[in-house]
Amino acid sequence: MMGLPPTMNALRKPYGKEGLELDQVAPTPNEVGPEDVLIKVLRASVCGTDLHIFKSDPSIRDRVAHNQIIGHEFCGEVMEVGEQVTILAKGDIVSSESHIVCGTCFQCTNGQPHLCQEISLIGVDRPGGLAQFVVVPAKNAIKIQGIPLEVASFMDAYGNAVDTAMTVGLAAKTVLITGCGPQGLMAIALAVALGAKQIIATEVSKMRIDMAWEILGKHLQDDSNHSKSSTRKDNILNPKDRNLISNIYELTGGLGVDVLLEMSGHPSAITDGIAALRSGGNAVILGLASDKIELEWNDLVFKGITVHFRYGRKLYETWTNGQMLLKSGLINLESLIHRPYYKLEEFDVAFQTLLKGEAAKVIFTPNTDYV
């Protein structure tokens, strides 16, 4: 292949060993097939799944082949296109959709490809983007224009938040967002952009509470001390406060919230969220539960709550909506990004920073000529 170095840096997962290894491997670990593109990775980010892989968590450990190149949040420049690829050209900037769908199963052929039964994941089931180069199907390389590279690197994760926030209408609604990790922070920005009249979020970590206020203030274009001066009644609450539910009812005039966006997967966040919902409200669940969840089943029935479970991103409606919101300036994700950026060699520091909860999104620059 023209212009490629003989080897590249890549982060690989040795089976059964904690952490990752930086290795020198061939730059095209999977061949550029007729429907594939070869991407030079300009920015890459890290999501919760990568942290589970890093820790050899039993939830994912056995799915990742020994010495797999990991990473599914990345963007880059198209270096080469397969002979049947017509939608992309050399030089295009693309972001990755991590779910490769089969196109032939019942769901794929009936308008629900995001629920494909033969799904394969970039950076889990095949080599990923925490490397200098990566090969993906062209249909998983989404052309990006007018979005900063660092944000373009985590469009896949942002897509989860966009899909969740757009499941039911948020305009003029009171919205409870449980958990202010990256998904919750993006949901706060989206709830403002989509017209929520009141946003209440829950979070334990002091750093994340500060980030939640920052992203809320930025999207409300309110530089003053928002909690004191605004006529809005937004708030970030600590879920460990035993008055949490009564505080939420008080903030919503005794009614409860119209919509729950559950972004954490924490069992108590889910039960608290349901308890705080008004009768006839909507619960939208993205978080994967870290444990078994006990629910007051009759509360769900008597309240007439509608529950929506979300997985992945709608192909490609979510990508279109997410890009429009960013390009219009309604969404600004800069405050999620940890600085400085990392070289692949610095992976251990970057992953530890995330594991300690000191950053929402870290950014890698795998090709140093593109820093």
Site string for Zn ion, 257-296 (x = CB under 5 A): ----------------------------------------
Nearer to Zn ion, 181 or 239 (CB): 181
292: Cβ–Cβ under 8 A, 6 or more apart, which residues? Answer: 267
Question: 215 with 335: CB under 8 angstroms?
Answer: yes
Asked whether position 47 contacts Zn ion by CB under 5 A, the answer is yes
Minimum CB–partner distance for residue 350 and Zn ion (Å): 15
Asked whether position 102 contacts Zn ion by CB under 5 A, the answer is yes
Asked whether position 108 contacts Zn ion by CB under 5 A, the answer is yes
Nearer to Zn ion, 44 or 236 (CB): 44
Give the footprint of Zn ion on residues 225-254 (CB under 5 A): none
Asked whether position 207 contacts Zn ion by CB under 5 A, the answer is no
Minimum CB–partner distance for residue 194 and Zn ion (Å): 22
Q: And the tokens for 345?
A: 């060699």
Asked whether position 188 contacts Zn ion by CB under 5 A, the answer is no
Minimum CB–partner distance for residue 231 and Zn ion (Å): 37
Question: 130 with 326: CB under 8 angstroms?
Answer: no
Minimum CB–partner distance for residue 315 and Zn ion (Å): 11
3-state secondary structure 294-347: CCCHHHHHHHCCEEEECCCCCCCHHHHHHHHHHHCCCCCCHHHECCCCECHHHH
Q: Is the dihedral of CA 11, 40, 339, 221 positive or negative?
A: negative
Nearer to Zn ion, 71 or 273 (CB): 71
Q: Is 23 exposed, middle or buried (0-12, 13-18, 19+ CB in 10 A)?
A: middle
Nearer to Zn ion, 132 or 160 (CB): 160
Residue of 28, 49, 202, 318 with catalytic role: 49
Nearer to Zn ion, 98 or 132 (CB): 98
Q: Is 9 exposed, middle or buried (0-12, 13-18, 19+ CB in 10 A)?
A: buried
Asked whether position 51 contacts Zn ion by CB under 5 A, the answer is no
Q: How far apart are CA 287 and CA 293, in angstroms?
A: 12
Q: And the tokens for 176?
A: 């409870």
Q: Is 226 exposed, middle or buried (0-12, 13-18, 19+ CB in 10 A)?
A: middle
By three-state DSSP, how is residue 305 classified?
A: coil
Minimum CB–partner distance for residue 302 and Zn ion (Å): 36
Residue of 52, 226, 308, 338 with catalytic role: 52
Please say if 52 is a catalytic residue: yes
Site string for Zn ion, 53-92 (x = CB under 5 A): ----------------------------------------
Nearer to Zn ion, 36 or 50 (CB): 50
Asked whether position 116 contacts Zn ion by CB under 5 A, the answer is yes
CA 112 to chain CA mean position, Å: 20
- Single out the segment in contact with Zn ion by CB under 5 A; choices: 55-63, 115-123, 176-184, 338-346: 115-123
- Single out the segment in contact with Zn ion by CB under 5 A; choices: 31-39, 99-107, 224-232, 314-322: 99-107
Question: In which residue are the tokens 């890290």 written?
Answer: 46
Q: How far apart are CA 143 and CA 302, in angstroms?
A: 46
Q: How far apart are CA 341 and CA 164, in angstroms?
A: 28
Give the total of residues touching Zn ion (CB under 5 A). Answer: 8
Nearer to Zn ion, 128 or 239 (CB): 128
Minimum CB–partner distance for residue 50 and Zn ion (Å): 7
Q: Where are the alpha helices (DSSP H) in 66-181?
A: 149-152, 155-165
124: Cβ–Cβ under 8 A, 6 or more apart, which residues? Answer: 49, 53, 60, 63, 64, 68, 70, 72
Question: 350 with 362: CB under 8 angstroms?
Answer: yes
List, by residue number, the catalytic residues.
49, 52
Residues that bind Zn ion in the complex, under the rule CB under 5 A: 47, 49, 101-102, 105, 108, 116, 118
